[in-house]
Amino acid sequence: MADKPFVKAKIAFLALAALLAVALPPAAPAAAQSVRLKDIADVEGVRDNQLVGYGLVVGLAGTGDRLRTAIFTRQSLVGMLERLGVNTRDNEAKLDTRNVAAVMVTANLPAFARPGSRIDIAVSALGDATNLMGGTLLVTPLLGADGEVYAVAQGAVATGAISARGAAASVQRGVPTSARISNGAIVEREIPYALAGRSTVRLSLRNPDLTTARRMAAAVNRASGAPVATATDPRTVVLALAGRDPVAFLAEIEQLRVEPDQTARVVIEEASGTIVMGAQVRVSTVAIAQGNLTIRVTETPQVSQPAPLGNGETVVVPRTNIEVEDQAERRMGVLRGGVSLQELVRGLNALGVGPRDLISILQAIKAAGALQSELELR
């Protein structure tokens, strides 16, 4: 009897929940497809620049280059020692150490990087070094495409790899001949680019599309209250600043949300068997039957021995087992025209095919003219 008030309260709560579910309209779907403008477009001219350099990593535990075969490492070592006042030219042929490795150093110089700021660098072995773990990169100038020095790199390298070897086994995780140095380079020269004083700024779409470009221009014009944005091509939207502060104006519009459009495309990477389909992929009505003929021959020879005290001899008796699998249980399936991506995947999965067979099916559907999308093979 003491539980009756609790039961009545529970019934009343369920009745209220059911009433609200009927009375209240369903919640509007969230704008999951809309993204920020800054996530789909870049400001033209604001970009990274690639740097490259050649240097030496020292302090390796016998895992560096062999100086007798890596001529460039030996010459670099001799030249470095001469700059430090050590003459090894007369005994260059006697240099025999595996604690030095020649490396290529790469980095990206960010936009608006000022002298004195630091950037990350990547270090990769150039010769026959087997492991860069524990090494230190010596001062290495990093050059741009114009041949000018924009940064100087130096520091202890970190491979993040594990390599161990014994007499009969070895184990390796990661690539020990590639390493990184966080904040390993100091910027010495900046690449000038000024936003202030510009009359126009161009936005470049990362995925060119006419519809997306027009939507971007319309969103910017609505937010600014004036026709300041114009889509000139599928990749470019031109902004007329008209006396506005470029930095402040770009900071305002980069938070605008736009729903990007996309081309119906199926991307197939045959090397790994990866298939990626866009949301707009559609298939006309088509019937599909897929099957493979597999013949498996297995040899299991057996040894036949004579009975004890017999006068026979031991012989090997061949035994062959042949299996034929024609996948006759598979039937032809029908994919209705205009189905969504989810229905398309469900229909293809119903045929019981794997990724490799699915690649062949998609190519055949495209050849039949029933795949209403681009088919990109990589």
Using alpha carbons, select from 344, 351, 352, 350 the residue that is nearest to residue 372.
344
Q: Residue 200 carries which side chain, given as an amino acid letter? A: T
Burial class (CB in 10 A: 0-12, 13-18, 19+), 2: exposed
Using alpha carbons, select from 72, 34, 3 the residue that is nearest to residue 261.
34
Per-residue pLDDT of the chain (378 residues; tens, 9 = 90+): 445 554 444 444 444 444 334 444 443 343 447 899 999 999 988 889 999 999 999 999 999 999 888 889 998 998 898 888 888 877 777 788 899 999 999 999 999 999 999 999 999 999 999 999 999 999 999 999 999 999 999 999 999 888 777 777 778 788 899 999 999 999 999 988 888 778 899 999 999 999 999 999 999 999 998 999 999 999 999 999 888 888 889 999 999 999 998 888 888 887 777 888 877 787 777 776 666 545 566 667 787 777 776 677 777 777 767 665 655 555 555 556 566 666 766 766 776 667 777 788 788 878 888 777 888 888
Tokens linked to 140: 């290495």
**Helices and strands: H and E segment counts in the chain:** 6, 23
Transcribe 213-245 into DSSP letters. Answer: HHHHHHHHHHHHTS--EEE-SSSEEEEE-TT--
Q: How far is CA 280 from the centre of its chain?
A: 23
Phi, psi torsion values for 218, nearest 5 degrees: -65, -40
Rounded Cα distance between 157 and 117, Å, is 19
- Sketch the domain layout of the chain as residue ranges: 49-163+170-187, 200-258, 266-298+318-377
Q: Residue 304 carries which side chain, given as an amino acid letter? A: S
Specify the pLDDT at position 211: 93
Confidence (pTM): 0.68
- Is residue 213 a contact partner of residue 231, using CB atoms and an 8 Å limit? yes
